[in-house]
C-alpha cells in the first residue's frame, strides 16, 4: 500500500459564543481537514486545530507545511507509523498540529486496512466509560458562576474552569462557583500558564479543600523547572499541559517529579504515534493521564477517544470543544450522551468522516504523486 494523493481543506466554524482563556479569545474553530488516498482505494481522514499561542501554527502555516509533508510521504506505506513519523520530522521541525492531522489520517487508513476500530488497532478495548467535563470560559465572576450552574444542570459530572488572571479575581471566581454549585461536583482548574510561581502557590493554597481534582499548567511552560517546588507546596495536584508536547517532554517532567498528571493532546504530540509513547512513559512512572484537545470538531476528538481506550491509566477526558460549535460537519464518529457520556464508534478505522458536500465548499489544496 502506498500514499498517492493528499487533500488539504481549510475550514472555519463559528463558536456559539467566544471561548476565552488567559492566552486570548477564540471565536471560530479555524481548522484543517486532511484526506489521504492510497493506491488500494482506502482513504483516511485527519484534522487539526492550530493554535498561534500554543504550537505557533495557523491554518495558513498548516496548508503550506502540509505540501512539504505530503511530498515527503508520497509513495510511503501509510501503515508504517514509525517511518511516517520519522519522515515528517525529517522534512520539518515542530509543526505538531499539521503533523497530527497527517498522523490521524494514517492511523485511520491502517486500522481500516485491518478492518478493526482504531482503539482495537492501538491495542485497546471499548470496555470503559468515557465522561467529558465541560469548560467555563474566563470572564467576570457572575458570568462564570452562571455558566458553571448551567453545566451542572446539564448533567456534566465535572466542571473545568479557566483561570490565570490574578490571585484576587481567580480565588473569587472559584469561591463563588463552589458556593453556587455545591461541594459534590469536582472542579478542574486550568490557568493556561497565567500565573507566576509565587502567585500559583498563593492561589492553590487559597483553594485547598474545595474538591478540586487538579490544576493544569499553572505557570509559564518555560518555567518547568519550578514545577517540582510548586508541586510540593500545593495540596492540589498539578497537571502538565503546554509544558508537555511529546515523549521527550514527558520524560523530562517525569524525571523532575514535576507533575501529578499529564494532559495529552494529539495536536501537541504530532499525533497518535508519539502520544502512545507519552502514555507508555507515564504508565511506567505510575502517572495518570487526561486526553484533551484544542478546538477540533468530532473528527479529531473521535481519534482522541479511541486513543483514550488504549491505556487504562488515561482516566480523564476533556472532549467538550465540539459541543461549543454552531455547525457539525462530521459524519458518524463519537456521540455525546447524557451526563457527559462519550460513545466511541465500532466501525473500522476512526469510524468518522467529513460530509462530502461540506468539503466541496472549502478551499482545498491537492498534492498528488507525479
Cell of 334: 463519537
Which of these, 54, 64, 52, 59, lies nearest to 31 by C-alpha position? 59
Instruction: Tell me the DSSP string of 260-325.
Output: SEEEE-HHHHTSHHHHHHHHHHHHHTT-EEEE--SS--HHHHHHHHHHHTT-TTEEEE---GGGGB
Whether residue 89 contacts residue 100, with contact meaning beta carbons closer than 8 Å, is answered with no
Please, what sign has the CA dihedral across residues 50, 56, 61, 65?
Answer: negative
Cell of 298: 468530532
Cell of 358: 461540506
Secondary structure of residue 180 in the 3-state scheme:
helix
Check 265, 268, 296, 320 and give the catalytic one.
265
Check 99, 160, 162, 201 and give the catalytic one.
162
Is 320 part of the annotated catalytic residue set?
Answer: no
Is 162 part of the annotated catalytic residue set?
Answer: yes
Check 47, 57, 108, 216 and give the catalytic one.
216
Intra-chain end-to-end CA distance of the chain, in Å:
17
Is 265 part of the annotated catalytic residue set?
Answer: yes
Residue tagged 463519537 (cell numbers) = 334
Report the relative pairing of strands 330-332 and 352-354 from DSSP bridges. Answer: antiparallel
**Residue 325 dihedral angles phi and psi, to the nearest 5°:** -100, 150
Distance of alpha carbon 237 from alpha carbon 212, whole angstroms: 9
Is 152 part of the annotated catalytic residue set?
Answer: no
Is 216 part of the annotated catalytic residue set?
Answer: yes
Distance of alpha carbon 211 from alpha carbon 263, whole angstroms: 20
Distance of alpha carbon 319 from alpha carbon 337, whole angstroms: 12
Check 30, 133, 170, 241 and give the catalytic one.
241
Check 190, 242, 249, 320 and give the catalytic one.
190
Cα 67 to Cα 9, 13, 73, 365, distances in angstroms: 12, 23, 10, 8
Whether residue 221 contacts residue 193, with contact meaning beta carbons closer than 8 Å, is answered with yes
Active site residues: 162, 190, 216, 241, 265
Amino acid at each position: 500500500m502506498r500514499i498517492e494523493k493528499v487533500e488539504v481543506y481549510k475550514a472555519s466554524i463559528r463558536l456559539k459564543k467566544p471561548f476565552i482563556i488567559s492566552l486570548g479569545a477564540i471565536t471560530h474553530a479555524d481548522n484543517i481537514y486532511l484526506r489521504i488516498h492510497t493506491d488500494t482505494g482506502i482513504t483516511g481522514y485527519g484534522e487539526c486545530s492550530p493554535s498561534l499561542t500554543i504550537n505557533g501554527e495557523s491554518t495558513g502555516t498548516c496548508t503550506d507545511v502540509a505540501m512539504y509533508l505530503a511530498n515527503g510521504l508520497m509513495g510511503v506505506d501509510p501503515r508504517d507509523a514509525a517511518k511516517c513519523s520519522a519522515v515528517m520530522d525529517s522534512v520539518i521541525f515542530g509543526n505538531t498540529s499539521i503533523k497530527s492531522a497527517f498522523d490521524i489520517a494514517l492511523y485511520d487508513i491502517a486500522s481500516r486496512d485491518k478492518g478493526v476500530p482504531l482503539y482495537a488497532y492501538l491495542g485497546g478495548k471499548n470496555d470503559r466509560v468515557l465522561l467529558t467535563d465541560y469548560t467555563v470560559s474566563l470572564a467576570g465572576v457572575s458570568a462564570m458562576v452562571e455558566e458553571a450552574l448551567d453545566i451542572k444542570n446539564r448533567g456534566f459530572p465535572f466542571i473545568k474552569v479557566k483561570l490565570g488572571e490574578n490571585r484576587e479575581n481567580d480565588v473569587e471566581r472559584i469561591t463563588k462557583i463552589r458556593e453556587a454549585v455545591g461541594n459534590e461536583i469536582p472542579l478542574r482548574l486550568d490557568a493556561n500558564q497565567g500565573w507566576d510561581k509565587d502567585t500559583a502557590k498563593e492561589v492553590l493554597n487559597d483553594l485547598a479543600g474545595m474538591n478540586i481534582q487538579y490544576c493544569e499548567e499553572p505557570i509559564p511552560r518555560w518555567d518547568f523547572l519550578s514545577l517540582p517546588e510548586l508541586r510540593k507546596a500545593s495540596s492540589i495536584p498539578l497537571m502538565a499541559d503546554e509544558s508537555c508536547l511529546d515523549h521527550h517532554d514527558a520524560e523530562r517532567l517525569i524525571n523532575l517529579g514535576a507533575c501529578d498528571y499529564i494532559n495529552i493532546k494529539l495536536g501537541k504530540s504530532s499525533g497518535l504515534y508519539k502520544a502512545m509513547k507519552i502514555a507508555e512513559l507515564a504508565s511506567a512512572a505510575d502517572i495518570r493521564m487526561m486526553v484533551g484537545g484544542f478546538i477540533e470538531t468530532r473528527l479529531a476528538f473521535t481519534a482522541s477517544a479511541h486513543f483514550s481506550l488504549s491505556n487504562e491509566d488515561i482516566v480523564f477526558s476533556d472532549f467538550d470543544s465540539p459541543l461549543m460549535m454552531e455547525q457539525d460537519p462530521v459524519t458518524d464518529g463519537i456521540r455525546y450522551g447524557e451526563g457527559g457520556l462519550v460513545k466511541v464508534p465500532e466501525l473500522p478505522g476512526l469510524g468518522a468522516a467529513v460530509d462530502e458536500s461540506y468539503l466541496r465548499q472549502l478551499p482545498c489544496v491537492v498534492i498528488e504523486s507525479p
